[in-house]
């Protein structure tokens, strides 16, 4: 569940760390993306009527593939360069949280069965969304799809978000595109939300800057991790009676969880029994991540025949749709290669902020060196809009 209440806390206490961006400003940006959340969304939403989803003749679900194909092509056409990262084994400390989720799912499964028997169609649809599971095989199918589309894809050793953050720290990508605020706790320099919001919604991308986050809160990196643990994370429970606001106050006052425990009345604010906050801290501070040194990311042309083999022959996609997507991607790639100023495709030049042009030049100058972004302070910081609740 990420970090409870962190977004609200930041918008009140570190608004300067948040900045709204246009979707089009991600032109030519490399972005690391945790694939698992997307897969879940597609399994839940794509082609669903009642308990029905998209399937091939054999009855295998294909919703995740349809969703990923469309979303990925949209990103590529927008000039975004995605890197997909898949979850590995969950850390053992997540066991408690996972057990809770399992209980809830089983509860929903029981209710679903009852609703089916009662013939309550509406209830069946609602509950079946809550019982969705993603198998390893389905994840691997999405990975295969990404690779056929020419996109780098990796399986992380552990939490995908941690490896995404590591890629961003290493300068392999400009930002991590996610809705999960854990990523900021893993100290990803830049986190982008709403990156995939539907075109129609025109929701702006919300960008979080890590350095500005901790500076805005007035905390050190270690203290920020302690704050996140106190707010509530996936790895351990929290002190009863202490939520985000009190947590921030206490951390600023005392500096660390150890000191807080010494200072507060633990009768009134009982910490969890055998509280393993130090273990959680370690998971955030030194997570198990992929070795990203020496990785050379590249975005290749789609393997059209491979896609036809996989999606058409095996999964019964319509061939002209698949070939159509390939054509659109190829066209976008050609445009990017031949045009230095792709932004002219997106509207009159005068509307485009000059920072985009500048950045574009900087990046092309730096060539395909793997460190686009890290050592570059973004310039247009002045124009952020604060958001009130």
Partner DNA sequence: AATCTGTCTCAAGACGGC
Partner DNA sequence: AAATCTTGAGACAGATT
Partner DNA sequence: GCCGTCC
Judged by CB under 7 A, the chain residues 216 through 235 that form the site for DNA are 232, 234
Rounded-to-integer distance, Cα 217 and Cα 223, Å? 10
Smaller CB separation from DNA, 34 or 363: 34
Helices (H) and strands (E) in the chain, counts: 16, 7
Rounded-to-integer distance, Cα 267 and Cα 287, Å? 33
Q: How far is the CB of 154 from DNA (least distance, A)?
A: 13
Q: H-helix or E-strand containing 101?
A: helix 95-118
Residue whose tokens read 């295998």: 60
Strand order in the sheet with 205-209: 18-21, 205-209, 190-193, 175-177, 30-34, 81-86, 153-155
- Of 131-139, 164-172, 337-345, 370-378: span binding DNA (CB under 7 A): 131-139
240 near DNA (CB under 7 A): yes
74 marked among binding-site residues: no
- Of 145-153, 195-203, 278-286, 343-351: span binding DNA (CB under 7 A): 195-203
Lookup: tokens for 143: 């990975």
* SS3 state at 177: strand
8 near DNA (CB under 7 A): yes
Among 16, 22, 55, 255, binds DNA (CB under 7 A): 55
89 near DNA (CB under 7 A): yes
232 marked among binding-site residues: yes
> What single DSSP character describes residue 55?
B
Rounded-to-integer distance, Cα 91 and Cα 340, Å? 44
303 marked among binding-site residues: no
Report whether 82 contacts 139 (CB < 8 A). Answer: no
Q: In sequence order, which residues have a C-beta less than 8 Å from that of residue 330 and are 6 or more positions away? A: 301, 302
Judged by CB under 7 A, the chain residues 257 through 296 that form the site for DNA are 268
88 near DNA (CB under 7 A): yes
Smaller CB separation from DNA, 259 or 323: 323
- Of 141-149, 173-181, 283-291, 379-387: span binding DNA (CB under 7 A): 173-181
Smaller CB separation from DNA, 144 or 376: 144
198 near DNA (CB under 7 A): yes
Among 13, 56, 147, 378, binds DNA (CB under 7 A): 56
| 203 CB neighbour count, 10 Å cutoff | 15
237 marked among binding-site residues: no
Rounded-to-integer distance, Cα 163 and Cα 290, Å? 6
Residue whose tokens read 């879940």: 40
> What single DSSP character describes residue 315?
T
Angle between helices 35-45 and 136-148 (to 10 degrees): 110
Q: How far is the CB of 16 from DNA (least distance, A)?
A: 18
Smaller CB separation from DNA, 177 or 244: 244
Q: How many residues bind DNA (CB under 7 A)?
A: 72
42 near DNA (CB under 7 A): yes
Rounded-to-integer distance, Cα 193 and Cα 14, Å? 17
Among 115, 242, 290, 356, binds DNA (CB under 7 A): 242
3 near DNA (CB under 7 A): yes
Among 21, 24, 62, 213, binds DNA (CB under 7 A): 62
313 to 352: interface string for DNA, x by CB under 7 A: --xxxx--x--x----------------------------
Binding-site residues from annotation: 34, 71, 87, 159, 161, 180, 182, 232, 234
């Amino acid at each position: 569940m990420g970090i409870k209440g962190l977004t609200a806390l930041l918008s009140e206490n570190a608004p300067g760390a948040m900045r709204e961006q246009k979707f089009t400003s991600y032109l030519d940006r490399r972005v690391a993306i945790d694939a698992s959340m997307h897969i879940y969304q597609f399994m839940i939403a794509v082609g669903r009527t009642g308990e029905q989803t998209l399937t091939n003749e054999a009855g295998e679900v294909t919703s995740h593939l349809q969703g990923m194909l469309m979303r990925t092509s949209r990103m590529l056409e927008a000039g975004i360069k995605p890197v997909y990262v898949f979850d590995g084994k969950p850390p053992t400390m997540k066991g408690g949280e996972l057990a809770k989720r399992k209980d809830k799912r089983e509860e929903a499964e029981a209710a679903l069965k009852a609703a089916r028997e009662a013939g309550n169609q509406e209830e069946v649809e609602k509950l079946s969304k809550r019982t969705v599971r993603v198998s390893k095989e389905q994840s691997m199918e999405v990975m295969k799809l990404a690779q056929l589309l020419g996109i780098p894809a990796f399986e992380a050793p552990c939490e995908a978000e941690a490896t995404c953050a590591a890629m961003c720290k290493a300068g392999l990508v400009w930002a991590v595109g996610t809705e999960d605020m854990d990523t900021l706790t893993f100290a990803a320099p830049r986190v982008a939300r709403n990156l995939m919001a539907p075109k129609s919604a025109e929701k702006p991308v919300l960008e979080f800057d890590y350095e500005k986050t901790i500076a805005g809160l007035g905390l050190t990196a270690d203290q920020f991790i302690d704050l996140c643990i106190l707010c509530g994370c996936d790895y351990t429970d929290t002190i009863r009676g202490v939520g985000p606001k009190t947590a921030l106050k206490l951390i600023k006052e005392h500096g660390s969880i150890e000191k807080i425990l010494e200072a507060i009345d633990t009768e009134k604010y009982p910490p969890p029994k055998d509280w393993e906050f130090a273990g959680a801290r370690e998971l955030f501070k030194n997570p198990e991540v992929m070795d990203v040194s020496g990785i050379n990311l590249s975005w290749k042309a789609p393997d059209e025949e491979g896609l036809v083999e996989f999606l058409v022959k095996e999964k019964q996609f319509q061939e002209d749709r698949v070939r159509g997507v390939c054509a659109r991607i190829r066209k976008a790639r050609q445009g990017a290669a031949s045009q230095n100023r792709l932004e002219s495709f997106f509207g009159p030049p005068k509307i485009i902020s000059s920072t985009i042009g500048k950045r574009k030049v900087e990046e092309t100058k730096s060539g395909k060196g793997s460190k686009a972004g890290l050592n570059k302070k973004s310039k247009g910081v002045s124009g952020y809009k604060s958001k009130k609740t």
